[in-house]
Amino acid sequence: MLNLYPSQIESLSVHRVGNKSRNEGVFLSNEPYLLNDEITGILKEYFLKPFREKEENYFRFANEVDVEFHPLFDLISDMFVNPASAHENSKKIAAHLFDQSNHPHIKSGEVYIVHFSDMVLDNQKVDAIGIFKSELKHDFLQFSEGENNLDIIIQQGVNINKLDKGAIIFNTNREEGYKILSVDSNRYDTKYWLENFLSVDALTDENFITKKYLKFCQDFAKDVVLPAEDKKQEVMFMNRAVNHFAKNDDFEETNFLNEVMDNPELIPEFKHYKTEKGPKYHIEDVSSFPIANKAVTEARKKIKNVINLDTNIQIKMDFVNPESAEKFVEKGWDEEKQMYYYLVYFNKEEKS
């Protein structure tokens, strides 16, 4: 669980990084930026708003040999241990970003390195280092009052309602490469920020595994249950799967299959599908894990529980009470009309 609202900006350094392949250079500020209340409030919203709106997919610093050899790891660690080193280390971070800015598509821009305090992660207050970059410049109008008329002045600047790139490194899980969130609003240089600069891997915690396993189940339902049975059973399988996750603290695959798989003949199909597709979801060797409730809630919102019929009718199943669909919805075939039908039982119509 992440809460960014209580966070405070302790220090801010601002630099400008150009495109190395275009010989644009790098500008490093001599001193940290002197903050005031007005600019602090504006910048905090500019930096953190995208992370409040984004799904929490965590990463960690990764290196083939050891995380200690990661180019950012020691710099970030030093900033956490010795906050007075923040500005000097921010110059090294900007220089590292400049070294990665050598593709023609990469845009120059301002880089902000921020030391935050009082971020709440998993109910604990932690420090964090934020690295943010503004790239795209937008036209905006300024007005100058003359003697008899208003003059229009066109200027360019940063849109503070849209952060281009950003990362927050939380002061936790240091031995594993910290816990990191990232956003990238632009798609013209997708590998530059996440892979080349940050050089991170997905953090395979319970939130990651829960999310990936449910996505695997969703694709199994679409690829195997639907062709073998019908749309209702596809929806009902995912209905039972999500509810199994919602009511348990820990996942155990055998118990899951025995409870969720309505047709036992599909259990070998499930195991074969996992052997074949598991590596794509990083669950090939996973059969038990703690369940992350937040990931279940997020997955429930995304999973479609509607049967769309070619007669312009929709039947919506209930993910909270799946037994209702089992008991009160029947599928059949009408010989006279040569059409399938659904028979729905109810006592009364609910008022909307």
- Confirm if 336 and 350 have CB atoms less than 8 A apart: no
Q: Which domain holds residue 244?
A: 207-344
What is residue 155's three-state secondary structure? Answer: strand
**290 in any annotated domain:** yes
Q: What is the pTM of this model?
A: 0.77
Tally of domains in the chain: 2
Residue 351, domain member (yes or no): no
Out of 20-24, 185-189, 194-198, pick the least confident. Answer: 185-189
Pair 184, 319 in one domain: no
Cβ(111)–Cβ(91) below 8 Å: no
Assess if residue 151 is contained within a domain. Answer: no
In-domain check, residue 349: no
| CA–CA gap between residue 352 and residue 341 (Å, rounded) | 25
> Domain check: are 187 and 292 in the same one?
no
**In this predicted model, what pLDDT tens digit does every residue of 100-155 receive, in sequence order?**
998 888 999 999 999 999 999 988 999 999 999 999 999 989 999 888 899 999 99
- 166 and 306 assigned to the same domain: no
d(CA 72, CA 240): 44
Q: Is 56 in the same domain as 114? A: yes
Beta strands in the chain (DSSP E): 2-3, 8-17, 26-27, 59-61, 109-121, 124-134, 137-145, 150-158, 165-170, 179-184, 200-202, 250-252, 288-290, 306-308, 314-316, 329-334, 339-344
d(CA 118, CA 48): 13
Q: Does 152 fall in a domain?
A: no
Q: Kindly state whether residues 282 and 181 are assigned to the same domain.
A: no
Q: What are phi and psi of 105, to 5 degrees?
A: -80, -20
How far apart are alpha carbons 266 and 7 in whole angstroms? 49
In a domain, 177, yes or no: yes
Of residues 247, 197, 195, the one with CA closest to residue 20: 197
Residues 155-168 have pLDDT tens digits of 999 999 999 999 99
Same domain, 128 and 253: no
> Which residues lie closer than 8 Å to 130 by C-beta, 6 or more apart?
47, 112, 113, 114, 115, 116, 166, 167, 168, 169
235 and 194 within one domain = no
330-350: average pLDDT: 82
Question: Are residues 79 and 187 located together in one domain of the fold?
Answer: yes
